[in-house]
Structure 1
C-alpha cells in the first residue's frame, strides 16, 4: 500500500475518533434530582445517590502553556460502599454542577460526619487519610496540629506548613482531588486546629 494511502487512512481514523468523541460529549447529559446524580448519553445511563457514606472526589484543574494551550481536567467521582460513578463534566456547566454537588455534600454528608467525629473523636476519610482532635494522618504518618504553623489550600493542593530553622516549609502537599468530601474535611480540620491552638 502506498505511503500516501496509509497516511490518508490514519488521518481518516483520527478524524472519526474526534467526531465520535465530540458526539459523545454533546449527547452527554448530567442531571441532579434530589440527592441523585444521573449521567446519560446515547449509549447508556448511570446514576448514583449521595448518602452519608459517600466519598466525593472533585477535580477542577486548568493547565495552560504560555496561554497557547489550555487543558481542562474537570471531573467528579462519587464512591459509595458498592457503587462508583465518575463524571467527566462538560466545562460549560461544570461550575454549576460542582456547586450542586458541594451543596449535597454540605447537607447530606457533613452533618453526619461531624456527629460521628464528636462521638468517636476521630474519623477515617479514606484508606490513606484520617484525623482526630490532635492531628491528622496520611499514609501512616501523623501530623500534629501543635507542630504545624499553617494549613493552606492553594493551586489545587492542601499544604501543611511547619516552621523550619530558616523559613516555613511544606511538610505535606496533597492534591485536593485526592481528598474525599473536601468541604467536610476542611470544616473538621479548621475546627480541630482552632480548638488545639486555643487549648495551647
Structure 2
C-alpha cells in the first residue's frame, strides 16, 4: 500500500469554446506536484459515453479506469444552476467502480462559482456510495480569476486546492486499505 494513490481527474464540460481546460490545467499542475498521487485525466469531451448508457468498448474502458482509481476529482462548470449532462452520463455509465471511493470537486462559473452544481453532485455521489470531500475549490467569475498563462492569484482557491488534496489523500489511503481488507458491501 506504499504505492502512489491513483487519482483520476474528470473534466466535465463538453461545450465548444469551454473554459474547462484553463481550470483543469491549473488544478492538474497542483495535483501532479503532489507525490502522493499518480494523476490521470478523463476529459469527457474525448470520452464517448453514450447517453442511452449502451455498453460499448469505450464504456468498458471508462469503467476500468474508474475501477482502478483510488480517488477522483470532478472539474465542473455550472449551467443553469446545475452540472453538465455529460457528468451525469459519466456517473451513470459505471456502477460498482465508484463505490467506496472519495471524490473532490473543482467548480467554476459566474457569481456562484459552480457551488450550486457541486451541492447537487454531492447527492448523486452519495447515492453511488462515494465519499464527498467537504473542501471544494470554487472559482467565482472564473474568467477573471486566471491570467493569460492560466495561473491564478485567487488565494482562497489555492488554499482550498491544497486542503482538498490533503483530505482526498487521507480518504483515498483509508478507503483503499479498507477495500483491500474487506470488499465494499454490495460490490
Query: Which interval holds the TM-score relative to the shorter structure?
Result: under 0.3
Looking at secondary structure, tell me which structure has more helix per residue.
2
- Higher Rg: 1
Looking at secondary structure, tell me which structure has more strand per residue.
1
